Amino acid sequence: MGMTMTQKILAAHAGLDRVEAGQLIEAKLDVVLGNDITSPVAINEFEKCGACSVFDNQRIALVMDHFTPNKDIKAAEQCRQVRGFADKYDIKNFFDVGQMGIEHALLPEQGIVGPGDCIIGADSHTCTYGALGAFSTGVGSTDMACGMISGKAWFKVPSAIKVELIGALQPFVSGKDVILHLIGKIGVDGALYRSLEFTGEGVKSLSMDDRLCIANMAIEGGAKNGIFPVDDVTLAYCKDRFQREPKIYVADEDAVYDETITIDLSSLRPTIAFPHLPENTHTIDEIAPGQIKIDQVVIGSCTNGRLEDLEVTAKILKENKVAKNVRCIIIPGTQSIYLEAVRRGWVEIFVEAGAVFSTPTCGPCLGGHMGILGKGERAVSTTNRNFVGRMGHIESEIYLSSPAVAAASALTGYITDPTH
């Protein structure tokens, strides 16, 4: 009986020849991640147990991104505590104002994570790095503390769902539409504690930005992780970027999967998740023009704040104006993406269209700052969750979409088809 990609990575990091679904293992970690919300809790636990050193000051990443630049005194105190910890233990990968980005856009960009890695992060969307062929998953702050001390973590080896991709995406359809389609098909608990393993000839047609977006939202289907095979696209992205040597793991031909789901990329249409769950999906063809009026558009987050996301936004907004009474907020994933958007002239397009272009931050995604919703307001957002009260008032509504749908909707004031 063969192993999946995820199982092979876990076996290697546990020092075992093979592992099976359901097996409990202790695995060595390549990277431990925390942010400005989860790191303080981990630091408290670190100190409470009497630890006086970290396992490797180059394998810990602390990213100040959720409430940064600090929105209030509490946020400032949280970041101050993490800064002190980073200074005390000489944490090499510490990112603060001026260097920071949204963590799951920043770590791949900086080459901190890559193929074959075993990564934990005290943030649920740590599963993003599966796009690079890594096993990567979110954990609690206590597990983060243990990881910083020991460089190890306990896992139950997940079983897997094979997601076979065929065909290629049509214009103005992206990775966000792929993952929303999948979550709509299996539900928010359809992959509970299982690995979503993406494969098939359609993978080669997906850009790295598409893959990062898809892996990012694996957790929204309940998955332990999402993972893509390492191919030429992966290796080209990692070249002169990844800080270590890539390790490539390939699923065995006789690997066992709980089920196989086939998605024809060429047949997908822009897909929107209605309130209040990512599984509540509808294609743009099911929404009549002028049917759903909106108050705000957010384009950004760890899901969709990358270069291709800003590129399609600029293409749609160019020489157009954001609709009256619509607030359009555009947030780049990292400082490098911010700078590239300036160089390419996109920022001028955004501002002339009537949008706001922000410093990198998670901000509005979790109802933190930079775009909180009031009672009864509706937003089209490229973020990853649309739970009740996620972006503000409990009587507000969030419609999850791709950047193309979000940008087109900003121009009309209603959820709009970008392909028309």
Among the three residues 237, 264, 291, which one is the final residue of a domain in this structure?
264
Residues 238, 349: one domain?
Answer: no
Q: Stretch 323-337: mean pLDDT, rounded?
A: 96
Q: Are residues 101 and 65 in the same domain?
A: yes
Q: Is the pLDDT of residue 309 over 90?
A: yes
- 234 and 361 in a single domain? The answer is no
Among residues 243, 264, 285, the one where a domain terminates is 264
Do 220 and 318 reside in the same domain of the chain?
no
Q: 392 is written with which tokens?
A: 């503000």
Whether 331 is in a domain gets the answer yes
Residue-wise pLDDT tens digits, 366-393:
888 889 999 999 999 999 999 989 999 9
The pLDDT tens digits of the residues spanning 156-206 come to 999 999 999 999 999 999 999 999 999 999 999 999 999 999 999 999 999
Per the structure, the count of domains in the chain is 2
- Asked whether residue 283 falls in the same domain as residue 210, the answer is no
Structural domain including 372 reads 270-412
Residue 365 has pLDDT above 90, yes or no: no
Q: 298 and 251 in one domain?
A: no
Q: Are residues 36 and 138 in the same domain?
A: yes
Position 154 in a domain: yes
The last residue of one of the domains, among 225, 241, 264, is: 264
Task: Look at residues 379, 378, 377, 397 and name the one whose alpha carbon lies nearest to residue 387.
Answer: 397
Instruction: Tell me whether residue 391 is in a domain.
Output: yes
Q: Is residue 397 part of a domain?
A: yes
Q: Are 380 and 409 in contact (CB under 8 A)?
A: yes
The per-residue pLDDT for range 120-158, each reduced to its tens digit, is 999 999 999 999 999 999 999 999 999 999 999 999 999
Residue 419 falls inside a structural domain: no
pLDDT value of residue 100: 83
- Please indicate, yes or no, whether residues 228 and 307 belong to a single structural domain of this protein: no
What's the chain look like in SS3?
CECCHHHHHHHHHHCCCCCCCCCEEEEECCEEEEECCCHHHHHHHHHHCCCCCCCCCCCEEEECCCCCCCCCHHHHHHHHHHHHHHHHCCCCEEECCCCCECHHHHHHHCCCCCCCCEEEECCHHHHHHHHHCCEEEECCHHHHHHHHHHCEEEEECCEEEEEEEECCCCCCCCHHHHHHHHHHHHCCCCCCCEEEEEECHHHHHCCHHHHHHHHHHHHHHCCCEEECCCCHHHHHHHCCCCCCCCCCCCCCCCECCCEEEEEEHHHCCCEEECCCCCCCEEEHHHCCCCCCECCEEEECHHHHCCHHHHHHHHHHHCCCCCCCCCEEEECCCEHHHHHHHHHCCHHHHHHHHCCEECCCCCHHHHCCCCCCECCCCEEEECCCCCCCCCCECCCCEEEECCHHHHHHHHHHCECCCCCC
Q: Residue 283 domain-assigned?
A: yes
For residue 111, give the CATH number of its domain. 3.30.499.10
Look at residue 137 and tell me if it is in a domain: yes
**pLDDT digit string (tens) for 77-121?**
999 999 999 999 999 999 999 888 999 999 999 999 999 999 999
* Alpha carbons 318 and 233: distance in angstroms, whole number: 29
Find out whether 130 and 208 touch, Cβ atoms under 8 Å: no
For the cut 90, the answer to whether the pLDDT of residue 68 exceeds it is no
Interatomic CA distance for residues 387 and 359, integer angstroms: 25
Confidence of residue 420 (pLDDT cuts 50, 70, 90): confident
- Nearest Cα to Cα of residue 147 among 88, 41, 60, 79: 60
Query: Are 248 and 274 within one domain?
Result: no
Share of the chain above pLDDT 90, in %: 95
Are the CB atoms for 117 and 134 separated by under 8 Å? yes
Q: Is the pLDDT of residue 262 over 90?
A: yes
Task: Kindly state the percentage of the chain with pLDDT values over 70.
Answer: 100
Q: What is the pLDDT of residues 228-252, one digit of tens each?
A: 999 999 999 999 999 899 999 999 9
Average pLDDT over residues 258-263: 97
In a domain, 420, yes or no: no
Rounded average pLDDT over 318-336: 96
| Nearest Cα to Cα of residue 136 among 108, 163, 101, 166 | 108
- Same domain assignment for residues 247 and 344: no
Residue 256 and residue 309 in one domain: no
HSE-up (13 A, CA, CB side) for residue 338: 19
Please check whether residues 132 and 224 belong to one and the same domain.
Answer: yes
